Chain A
Amino acid sequence: MTSSARMYIIIVGGGKVGFHLAKELVEANYEVLVIEQDPEQARAIADDLGDIVLEGDGCEASVHEKAGTRRANMLLAVTGDDEDNMVACQVAKQLFNVERTVARINNPKNEAFFRMLDEVDTTVSATSAIMAHIEQGLPTTHHLIQLLELKGSGLELVEVRIPEDSRVVGAPIKSILLPYQSMICLVVGNDGQPKVPSPDTIIHADDEVIAVTLHESEEQLREALMSPPPVRSF
């Protein structure tokens, strides 16, 4: 990336998450600014990472004027308070037209609500991520795990582990009836090898399937890939 096209990323909240994010992004040569309210915390980040900190309230428009939020490509709101993260994203989008906003979610129950907001493009919840890992580790998970939301399109990336008794075991992908706008993108066999599937790829038990789907079609997709074959009566 040339220096003129460097992405400008604003981080609201200089706690542990904000600090490490800033550090990574600086190392990756992005233009970064951390907005942190606490003077001591702001100084500590500046001592470590240099002059990339603005002391102030990341929910206030006047602070965003100073931060040059209007030319920011992305705003990451990662404080420990969901309401502050929500307002920071709304101010950035509504008043400064920032292209993309990411909100950290502290209370996982707020995730569905945040997804309803036009000003939050992506939500990240550590609790949900850890929960997904726990569920993944359980032998009899009948869950579909959401990996990433592709907002705007309403699509999301999900992961499904094919149960032994699934109706799709031994079947080629072309025979699977998927819900509207759903697509299987990747199949990881139990040898750990990922492969881009063709219509003739056969699904095996324990395969990890990565698929794109609409949020509202999740349940249908789960049905299609995980439920046992229908019982036939003769």
Chain B
Amino acid sequence: MKVVIMGCGRTGAALATEFDSAGNDVLVLDADSTAFRFLPEDFRGKTHVGNGMDIDVLERIKLREADAFVSTTRGDNRNVMAAQMAKHVFGVPVVASRVFDPLREEMYRNMGLRTINPTRVQAKRLKKIIEAPSDEAASEVVAAFLRQEDE
């Protein structure tokens, strides 16, 4: 699968690493070339310095050929704009975005984008960790979260 990831922060880099290890063709896009430091040394995918909302940049990386586009920058608006461009202009079959504002996240989900609101998910998980009876139990809760995601 060809996956384009916009935004090489911690989340973007972790996601790129996951897809890369699973044997996918990954391209990570970030406007800041120093952001790629988050990628592991054995990362086999491509990196590209550029703005993911710039149609010329998206043209250059041949976004049309991608199977999935994910936007994980810090800006909600940037994420949903790039995702809609990927969907409407470049016809990418799967687009996903991280959206921090819960109301905007819900709105875009209703409009047919695949969105996730990390704030809500994190708050729920943090609550579970705080409520764990001991530190050991709390780490077990975290490990369980990760196992659950791998299934």
Contacts and interface: CB of A to CB of B under 8 A. Distances in A.
Contacts, number: 54
A188 interface: no
Interface residues of A, number: 21
Interface string B79-108: 011001100110000000000010110010
Interface residues of B, number: 20
B104 A117 contact: no
Given A60-B101, A61-B103, A94-B107, A83 B75 contact: yes
Contacts of B101: 59-60
A83 B78 contact: yes
Interface string A2-37: 000000000000000000000000000000000000
A117 B76 CA distance: 18
Contact of B107 (A91, A107, A113): A91
A83 B54 contact: no
Contacts of B53: 82-83
Dominant secondary structure of chain A at its interface with chain B: helix
Interface in A179-216: none
Given A59-B104, A62-B103, A82-B53, A113 B77 contact: no
B76 to A, nearest CB: 8
A95 B55 contact: no
21 contacts: A59-B76, A59-B104, A60-B101, A60-B104, A62-B103, A83-B75, A83-B78, A86-B77, A87-B81, A87-B104, A94-B110, A94-B111, A95-B103, A109-B55, A109-B56, A110-B55, A112-B89, A113-B55, A113-B84, A113-B89, A116-B88
